Amino acid sequence: MTAQTQTIREPHRLYLREEQIPTRWYNLRADMPVKPEPMRLPTGAVASKADLSPVFADALIDHELDDATPYFDIPEPVLEMYRVYRPSPLCRAYNLERALNTPAKIFYKFEGNNTSGSHKLNSAVAQAYYAKAQGLTNVTTETGAGQWGTALAEACAHYGLDLDVFMVKCSYEQKPFRRNIMETFHASVTPSPSDTTEVGRRLLAQDPDSSGSLGTAISEAVERALHVPENRGRYQLGSVLNQVVLHQSIIGLESYEAMRELGEYPDIVIGCAGGGSNLGGLIAPFMRDKLTGARPDTRFIAVEPESCPSLTRGRFAYDFADTGQTCPLCKMYTLGNGFIPNPDHAGGLRYHGMSPIISQLKHDGYLEAVAVSQTDVFEAGERFATLETILPAPESSHAILQAIREAERCRETGEAKTILFGLTGTGYFDMVAYDKFNRGEMEDHRPTDEELEQGFATIPRIEGIQ
C-alpha cells in the first residue's frame, strides 16, 4: 500500500471496503490511566445495573458500566445496518488546502451520508437493536437540533419500535422540517417542556415561556419511558453517555484504518463537542495510541460554542444529567443542570454537561478545548461548502473553523502537519440559521460570569462526594 501511495496521489475520498467495517467497538475507558468517575444516584451511591435497568436496555447498561473490557462485538444485525450506509468516507480537503495556501494536509471523516444526516445513526441503530432484542416495544428520547431524533426515528422504524421524541421547544419551532422527517419515520414528536409529563408541567409552572433545553427534554423522555406499561419502555440518549461514545468509536476505527492505508497519521485531531459523542468516537483509537505511549505527541482539540462553554468555562463536578434532576449524576464538566443557552444559538451543542470520558481526558491534560463564536463558525462553514461541495451542519462547522485555524498556523510556521477533523453531518435543516447569517443578522452570545454562576448554583452538593 505504501508503494502505491508513493505513486498515486491520495484520493479525495477514501472509502474502505465493506468487509473492512470494524466488527467490534473500542472502549477507550479500558486504556485510560484514570477512569471516568462512575454514575451516581442523588444519595451519592454508585448507580448499579439494577438501578439503571428501568431506564436503559440491559445490554446498554453493560456498555455503560464496563470500563475494563477493551472491545465489544458488534451484533450481526447492527453490522448489517452499518453496511447499508457505512463505511463513511475519509476525505482529503484538497480545495480547502489550496485556498488556505497551507502546507498542512487536511483530512475529514464525513458522517453525513445517511438520511439522518449525521453520525448519530451509529449509536441509534445499536440502541434500537438492543431494545428490540430485549423484547421492548417503546423507546423515548429527547432531541435538540434534531439530528439524534431523526437518527433514532430511522432506527426505530427499521426495527419496528414505537418512538416518542421530546424536542427542545425553540428547535421544534425553528425547524418544522426536522419534525416532519421524524414523523415520516413514524415517530411521535412533542415540543418540550410540555404538559404531557409531570416534570414538564412543573417546569412550565416555573417558566411558562421556557424555550426548552436538552436537560428538560431528557427529564420528560425518562418520565415517559417509565410509564410505558409492562416495563416495555426504555429511554435512549444520543450523546454524553459512555455507551454512546463506545458505539461512535466506529468513526475513529474507520478513520484509523483509512489513514493507515494512506500511510498517514494525524498530528492534530479535531472534533466539535456538545455531549461529546462524535468527538469521543473519532479520537478513540488515536487517543489510545497517546495513552499507551505509542503516539504521545498527537494533539486533540474539542471545539465548543461560546454560548454553551462547558469544557472551557464549566466546573468539573458531579451534576444531574437532566434539568428535572430525576436522572443519575455524572462527573463531568458542567455549566449546571439549570443552565440554558441563549435560544439564538443555532444548531446543536447546547447540552449543559459533557461526556464523562471527554471530561476526564480534558481534566487530565490529554485533550485541549476551545470555544468559538457562531458567526465565525458560519463563515467557516460557508467557505467549506463552496470549496468542498458539502454543506456542513453548524455543529460540524465548529471543527471546520478550528481545522482552518490550525492550517493557517501551519502556513505561518511552515509546518506540514496532518490534521484530521470530524465532519459530523449536513446542514440541510439549518437553512434558517444560514439565512440569518447571510443577512448579517446573526449575533454572538457569550454568557456573562453572572449567568454562569446562576447555572453553577444548580449543581447539587452531595455529602461525601462533593
Residues within the interface to a copy of itself (CB under 8 A): 8, 11-13, 15, 17-19, 81, 83-85, 94-95, 113-117, 121, 154, 157-158, 176-177, 180-181, 183-185, 382, 385-391, 426, 428-429, 431-432, 434-435, 438
Cell of 41: 444516584
Q: Terminus-to-terminus CA distance in the chain, angstroms?
A: 53
12 or 411, CB closer to a copy of itself? 12
94 or 265, CB closer to a copy of itself? 94
In the complex, least distance from residue 109 CB atom to a copy of itself, rounded to whole angstroms? 14
Round to whole Å and give the CA distance between 65 and 277: 16
173 or 289, CB closer to a copy of itself? 173
In the complex, least distance from residue 420 CB atom to a copy of itself, rounded to whole angstroms? 18
Rounded to the nearest 5°, which phi and psi values hold at 353? Answer: -115, -155
Cell of 7: 505513486
In the complex, least distance from residue 7 CB atom to a copy of itself, rounded to whole angstroms? 11
Rounded to the nearest 5°, which phi and psi values hold at 425? Answer: -175, 180
53 or 113, CB closer to a copy of itself? 113
Question: Are the C-beta atoms of residues 401 and 303 closer than 8 Å to each other?
Answer: yes
Round to whole Å and give the CA distance between 423 and 15: 15
Q: Strand 418-423's sheet: what is its strand order? A: 13-14, 90-92, 105-110, 418-423, 268-272, 299-305, 368-372
In the complex, least distance from residue 98 CB atom to a copy of itself, rounded to whole angstroms? 10
In the complex, least distance from residue 66 CB atom to a copy of itself, rounded to whole angstroms? 29
49 or 260, CB closer to a copy of itself? 260
158 or 232, CB closer to a copy of itself? 158
Q: CA of 339: how far to CAs of 87, 93, 208, 320, 322, in Å?
A: 37, 37, 17, 12, 10
286 or 434, CB closer to a copy of itself? 434
Q: Is 94 exposed, middle or buried (0-12, 13-18, 19+ CB in 10 A)?
A: middle
**3-class SS of residue 232:** coil
In the complex, least distance from residue 42 CB atom to a copy of itself, rounded to whole angstroms? 39
In the complex, least distance from residue 96 CB atom to a copy of itself, rounded to whole angstroms? 10
Which residues pair with residue 166 across a beta bridge? 142, 190
